Amino acid sequence: MTQPSATYATNDMVGIREDLVDVIYDVSPVDTPFLSMASQIKATNTNHEWQVDALAAASATNFVIEGDDATTDASSPTTRRGNYTAISDKVARVSGTARSVTTAGRADEMDYQMLKRAKELKRDMEKILLANNAKVGGDDTTARECAGVPAWIITSVDNNGAGTEPAGDGVAAYITGGSARQFTEDQLKTVIKSCYDEGGNPDILLCGSWNRQIASTFGGGTKMQKAEDKTLHTSFDIYEGDFSMSLKIVPDRFTQVDHVFGLEMEYWKVAFLPGRNMVTTELAKTGDTDQKQILCEYTLEACNEKSSFAVRDLTTS
């Protein structure tokens, strides 16, 4: 069949109005679990410091003679720890014309760009806080950097045996050695026991998407069907470990994907310098453009790494 002669169709027309939906679709992930779960506190210096301590080892021979003089027990000082504040920012620059034209899906181009920058900045911060990165003091030509979670956990760890563990003071990152291996329940049980023996009680199991699915196979990975909702459940959100340890499994798109962390969130905090938490500043005009900066100055406080654990050197696909 062909179109009848002299038919005036849309392909012949001039002046058809565009059909542009007044919505902008964006499915980029914006959830930042660690940043959301960690307490926010105040920093007062670019070198944010705290102290950690531990009790003397329990003794099975603490017996004294009746009437004997008391013997002084040796005291030990606290250990001072610190992490540098890092500055992270995002800047939007929009021309005067771009803010004047009629746009679809947003009323003002600058407002829309700043909304995007704020989400991007939070994602950057999540990745930085969880990165295997050592702290850097910075100078006139070098930016300060804060040490991420992997650089602090040293006591309860499981690695492939070839890596180099950091000192636990944020000065060095973990150095991977050898080949990656699959995450197993035996590895998890090992670090849970170690963490329990040290006094820790993690409540979060933080991992990337691949190892989240691996964790779903632990305990036999039995598929359960709840009769009341007719849904086939093939994973779980809580891992009930030994020693009454309940770990909520939290997948994080921006975590160190070759690590799995067991974190007692009470002992992980994000410290911000006053007035430096997601602050927006209008920058000076240099022509027919508007500029705005959104900025954070922050650091990670690892209150006591013995509260948490890490399984390192894992496969990611």
Give pLDDT, residue 287. 94
- Strands, E, within the chain: which ranges? 39-42, 47-52, 79-84, 86-95, 157-158, 204-207, 224-226, 231-233, 238-240, 246-251, 260-263, 268-272, 279-283, 289-302, 309-311
- Taking only the tens of pLDDT, the chain with its 317 residues reads 788 887 777 788 888 778 777 787 777 888 999 999 999 999 999 999 999 999 999 999 999 999 999 999 999 999 999 999 999 999 999 999 999 998 888 999 999 999 999 999 999 999 999 999 999 999 999 999 999 999 999 999 999 988 899 999 999 999 998 899 999 999 999 999 999 999 999 999 999 999 999 999 997 654 555 556 656 555 668 998 899 899 999 999 999 999 999 999 999 999 999 999 999 999 999 999 999 999 999 999 999 999 999 999 999 99
**Whole-angstrom distance, CA of residue 117 vs CA of residue 233:** 37
Residue 233's Cβ-side half-sphere holds a number of Cα atoms within 13 Å equal to 10
**Whole-angstrom distance, CA of residue 111 vs CA of residue 115:** 6
Hey, how many other C-beta atoms are within 10 angstroms of the C-beta on 148? 25
pTM score over 0.85: yes
Hey, how many other C-beta atoms are within 10 angstroms of the C-beta on 237? 11
Nearest partner of 311 among 187, 148, 193, 214, judged by Cα: 187
**Whole-angstrom distance, CA of residue 166 vs CA of residue 156:** 12
**Whole-angstrom distance, CA of residue 222 vs CA of residue 238:** 14
Domains of the chain (ranges; CATH) run 31-49+81-311 (3.90.1690)
* 129 in Cβ contact with 40 (< 8 Å): no
Nearest partner of 35 among 128, 160, 99, judged by Cα: 128
Which residues make beta-bridge pairs with 250?
206
Distances (CA, A) of 258 to 54, 310, 314: 30, 10, 5
Give pLDDT, residue 311. 98
What is the C-alpha radius of gyration for the chain, rounded to an integer number of angstroms? 27
Give pLDDT, residue 226. 52
Nearest partner of 302 among 166, 196, 187, 209, judged by Cα: 166
Which residues make beta-bridge pairs with 238?
248
The residue whose two tokens read 């900045």 is 121
**Whole-angstrom distance, CA of residue 92 vs CA of residue 292:** 5
Hey, how many other C-beta atoms are within 10 angstroms of the C-beta on 140? 4
Q: Could you tell me which residues come within 8 angstroms of residue 168 by beta carbon, excluding any fewer than 6 positions away?
A: 152, 153, 154, 155, 305
Residue type, 51: Q
Nearest partner of 92 among 126, 118, 124, 127, judged by Cα: 118
The residue whose two tokens read 């196979």 is 217
Nearest partner of 242 among 304, 206, 195, judged by Cα: 195
- CA torsion, ordered 233, 237, 241, 247, to nearest 10 deg: 180
Q: Could you tell me which residues come within 8 angstroms of residue 229 by beta carbon, excluding any fewer than 6 positions away?
A: none
